[in-house]
Amino acid sequence: MREIILDTETTGLKPADGHRIVEIGCVELVNSIPTGRTWHCHLNPERDVPQGAYEVHGLSTEFLSDKPLFGDCAGELMTFIEGAMLVMHNAPFDFGFLNAELERVPLPLLKWDRVTDTLALARRRHPGAPASLDALCRRYGVDLSERETDGHGALLDCRLLAAVYVELVGGNQARLEFAANVAQAAMTQAEEEAIRPRPAPLASRLSSAEKDAHEAFVSALGADAVWLRYS
């Protein structure tokens, strides 16, 4: 199953108040395992970035002023997430902002039935325990050092959430199945390569003297020598 971990950074808390997306990050999973494929962009929100938002993600109005508009990147984003379940932490927040941007373009809106909210999932699995992304990373032993030095960022948060999500949905079993699939694929590839014909025959390593010595030896065996049947 293909899933996309998705995270946004914004200018504020509510699109209804005129706030916009300034960054989108996506990480692709197949069967709950990251494939290495990602999608990321910074966006010009066509408005200022309040100080409170800047202190969270570090993206200033000046930095974003020459970045593309959401409409410029929307087609590429929709192609990347097409057909996949969307996994988001506190999904109503990102979901609401994405649909506000899609409506503005306009493009078809996302549907809630293709969304997994890891915040709700964590609260069901660990009732009463802290369920922020940082708290879940600490619970599952996910390295937070990069976030501590670089702060928030949509793509970094996606990578952290991908590691957390694997644990929330039973990461050990998923990794075992993934390892088995990789091993089987490697064996299949090795078998295919073993029977693949060479594009050109290998050059002979026999010297002229060795060939002459072999011919002399075969001649000495007589007319019924087995060697003569294959020469």
Give the mean pLDDT of the chain. Answer: 88
Cβ distance 122 to 45 under 8 Å? no
Measured distance CA(103)–CA(109) in Å, rounded: 7
Rounded to 5°, the CA angle 141-142-145 comes to: 115
The tokens describing 7, both together, are 């995270």
First to last CA, the chain: 57
Residue 28 domain flag = yes
pLDDT above 80: residue 176: no
What pLDDT score does 186 carry? 58
Answer with the residue of higher pLDDT: 203 or 149.
203
Active-site residue flag, 89:
no
- CATH code where residue 166 lies: 3.30.420.10
What pLDDT score does 22 carry? 98
Residue 34 domain flag = yes
Residue 53 domain flag = yes
What pLDDT score does 224 carry? 74
| Helix ranges (DSSP H) in the chain | 51-57, 61-64, 70-81, 91-104, 118-125, 133-140, 145-150, 154-168, 171-194, 208-219
What pLDDT score does 155 carry? 94
Residue 209 domain flag = no
The tokens describing 149, both together, are 């030095």
Residue 23 domain flag = yes
Residue 178 domain flag = no
This model's pTM is above 0.75: no
Domain ranges, residue 22: 2-170
Which residues, in sequence order, are bridge partners of residue 30? 2, 33
Residue 176 domain flag = no
Active-site residue, selected from the candidate residues 40, 57, 126, 152: 152
The number of folded domains in the chain is 1
Cβ distance 74 to 35 under 8 Å? no
pLDDT in tens, 72-100: 999 999 999 999 999 999 999 999 999 99
Measured distance CA(175)–CA(26) in Å, rounded: 21
pLDDT above 60: residue 182: no
